[in-house]
Amino acid sequence: MFEQTPTWLPYRLRNWLDQRRIERSVGRIHWTRPYKAAPPDRAALEVHMLLCRRDLYVGLVAIKSLLRYGDERLAVTFSDDGTLTEQERRSVSNHVPGSRWLSWPTQDEAIDAAFDSRPNLRDLYHSDYAPVCKLVHAMAMPRCERVVVLDPDTAFFKRPETILNWSAGDDAFGWYLHDHQDETTAVPAEAQEAFGMLEAELASDSRPWTLDRRLFNSGLLVFRPDRLSLDVAEQYLAWRPSLDAKYKTGRSAIWFGDWTPEQTCYHVMFALAQPASRPLGDDYHLGGEAGHVFNHFLRHYLVRKSTQDRLRGLVDEL
């Protein structure tokens, strides 16, 4: 079998075949036992995951791969991007009993309060940009003091001691996922220049910029919502339209393009948080390489046979 679907195939056919291969590799997740979510008043932390129909199968693998280590002390909130049917939501709830569902957009006083004096954040939430749920729901409607934001195209292969130890302690700093590429070559000069302007705009002596990494990734974030500020996200969203188009296209679009405002909002919030945020490090990996506690595969690696074989083995463990 090909490592991945041949690129010479038409895009629609290739995408359909990729999806079928992914779902076949993890389809047995529906035969695994339920993993209970903890009531929030007894939970050490709450896991937030945005789900869509395409990521339904892998999302179940991701959340169960974490819950198996949680000793039934992890609360769970799923946000539906609007593509799931009631039957699909019930199926997920059967796999994760006790989990909470939030729709998008959600009508709630806490959501309304989050948009007070934050018109740019409000407009983004009421646009067609679903990833904003990862930001607004986790920050405005947490049920625990400590939160994990987890993407569905991820998996835990070993016990995440860093996260579980943090959840049981009293540390106030947050943890963030990052790519392990060499930033001197992976980050283009235009992005570095834009970040320099952004730091000058947002940072101050009383609120210094403390996150030097540019390859920040929001596929796994661990934090206390009371230590981050949506005002910082609003400031970024207000500043971004003034940025020259050259910073929003090409390689710099990874940070400043139209498809990453949620991630960059979190980036600046973590960069200005006090106490300073910490990188999760080598055990938490972006990509498909084996041997790590955690992988965020992204679509690029999720469509590969080697990744699908690993996930098939993980489902067998679950």
Query: In the structure, what pLDDT confidence band is assigned to residue 18 with cuts at 50, 70 and 90?
Result: confident
Give, for 183, the enclosing helix (H) or strand (E). Answer: helix 183-186
Q: Roughly how many angstroms between the first and final C-alpha of the chain, as a whole number?
A: 26
CA dist 11 and 2 (Å) reads 17
Give residue 264's pLDDT.
98
Tokens of 215: 């390859």
Does residue 291 have a pLDDT over 90?
Answer: yes
Task: Give Cα 113 distance to the centre of its chain.
Answer: 23
C-beta neighbour count of 101 within 10 angstroms: 16
Residue pLDDT, tens place only, 172-208:
999 999 999 999 999 999 999 999 999 999 999 999 9
Does residue 10 have a pLDDT over 80?
Answer: no
Tokens of 52: 């869509």
Give residue 98's pLDDT.
98
Residues 6+ apart with CB under 8 A from 94: 34
Does residue 130 have a pLDDT over 70?
Answer: yes
Q: Which of 105, 149, 103, 102 is nearest to 127 (CA)?
A: 105
Does residue 1 have a pLDDT over 70?
Answer: no
Residue 128 burial (10 A CB sphere; 0-12, 13-18, 19+)? exposed
Q: What is the CA radius of gyration of the chain?
A: 19
Query: In the structure, what pLDDT confidence band is assigned to residue 2 with cuts at 50, 70 and 90?
Result: low
Residue pLDDT, tens place only, 297-315:
998 889 999 999 999 999 9
* Cis amide linkage into residue 97, ω under 30° from 0: no
